């Protein structure tokens, strides 16, 4: 059965759960809104959403270094109390998210942070490609919407498949952690460093790399 964007939005408003979690819940329950709400409650996702409005100003700045010091990540994750910041489950979550960022290279925490001009440019590209198929405008707009959602899932941390368990998103992992710990948790910001990124290499260095690759 095909799940519409309207159904997903309706369930999201009712529970506060993430878009992908709502879509999965509706898919699993055949589009039944009440059963989908129960599905999210059993997973602890609806309960987590209710905590999302509570202030989270404590927490940790976590770090992760990968590939022999060539990739580094700093991430700030907030919780409500210093007590939870010292909790092993919370600390493990922070470490997992830092590791995920190193591996998946997101560009933003959530879709609201992606600049509007970037999204408009992507829409123009998707729309131009879709028009080549000769489909009617209403179908083209649905195609564009689907492609934009996929783009968000590629670059937004919370919508990416979690590297340690690709069957769930980072948002789902976050919601599960909130439900387990009992406090609101928020991924505030991150910074990912790649050694030498943005530095133009000297021509001699480039030539040496080419020669090494060719076995010269």
DSSP string, 62-104: EEEEETTTTEEEEEEEEES-HHHHT-HHHHHHHHHHHHHHHHH
Q: How many residues does the chain have?
A: 216
- CATH number for the domain that contains residue 129: 1.10.286
**Number of domains the chain contains:** 2
Task: Judge whether 185 and 177 are in contact, CB under 8 Å.
Answer: yes
Tell whether 177 is covered by a domain: no
Tell whether 119 is covered by a domain: yes
Tell whether 28 is covered by a domain: yes
The CA-CA-CA angle for residues 216, 70, 202, to 5°, reads: 45
Predicted local confidence at residue 44, as pLDDT: 67
Predicted local confidence at residue 18, as pLDDT: 74
Token pair of 4 as six digits: 């519409």
Per-residue pLDDT of the chain (216 residues; tens, 9 = 90+): 688 888 888 887 667 677 788 888 899 999 988 888 888 877 766 656 666 667 677 999 999 999 789 999 999 999 999 999 999 999 999 999 999 999 999 999 999 999 999 999 999 999 898 888 888 888 888 999 999 999 999 999 999 999 999 999 999 899 889 888 888 899 999 999 999 888 876 655 645 555 555 554
Predicted local confidence at residue 98, as pLDDT: 97
The CA-CA-CA angle for residues 100, 102, 107, to 5°, reads: 90
Predicted local confidence at residue 216, as pLDDT: 44
Give the global pTM: 0.69
Predicted local confidence at residue 183, as pLDDT: 87
Task: Judge whether 62 and 98 are in contact, CB under 8 Å.
Answer: yes
| Alpha-carbon span 216 to 148, nearest angstrom | 45
Q: Which domain holds residue 45?
A: 1-53
Tell whether 171 is covered by a domain: no
- CATH number for the domain that contains residue 30: 1.10.8.10
Looking at the chain, list the stretches that DSSP marks H as alpha helix, in order from N- to C-terminal side: 5-15, 19-28, 33-42, 45-50, 82-85, 88-104, 116-131, 137-155, 170-181, 203-214
Tell whether 207 is covered by a domain: no
Tell whether 35 is covered by a domain: yes
Q: Is the dihedral of CA 195, 197, 198, 204 positive or negative?
A: positive
Task: Judge whether 94 and 62 are in contact, CB under 8 Å.
Answer: yes
Tell whether 38 is covered by a domain: yes
Tell whether 200 is covered by a domain: no
């Amino acid at each position: 059965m095909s799940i519409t964007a309207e159904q997903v939005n309706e369930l999201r408003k009712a529970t506060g759960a993430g878009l992908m979690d709502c879509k999965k819940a509706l898919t699993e329950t055949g589009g039944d809104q009440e059963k989908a709400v129960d599905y999210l409650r059993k997973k602890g996702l609806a309960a987590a959403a209710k905590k999302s409005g509570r202030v989270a100003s404590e927490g940790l700045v976590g770090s992760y270094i990968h590939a022999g010091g060539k990739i580094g990540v700093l991430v700030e994750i907030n919780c409500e109390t210093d007590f939870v910041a010292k909790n092993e489950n919370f600390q493990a979550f922070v470490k997992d998210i830092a590791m995920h960022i190193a591996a998946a290279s997101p560009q933003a925490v959530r879709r609201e942070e992606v600049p509007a001009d970037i999204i408009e440019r992507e829409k123009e590209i998707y729309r131009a490609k879709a028009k080549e198929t000769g489909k009617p405008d209403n179908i083209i707009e649905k195609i564009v919407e689907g492609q934009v959602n996929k783009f968000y899932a590629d670059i937004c941390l919370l919508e990416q498949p979690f590297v340690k368990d690709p069957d769930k998103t980072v948002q789902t992992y976050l919601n599960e952690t909130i439900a387990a710990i009992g406090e609101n948790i928020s991924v505030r910001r991150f910074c990912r460093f790649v050694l030498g990124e943005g530095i133009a290499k000297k021509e001699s260095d480039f030539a040496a790399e080419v020669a090494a690759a060719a076995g010269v």
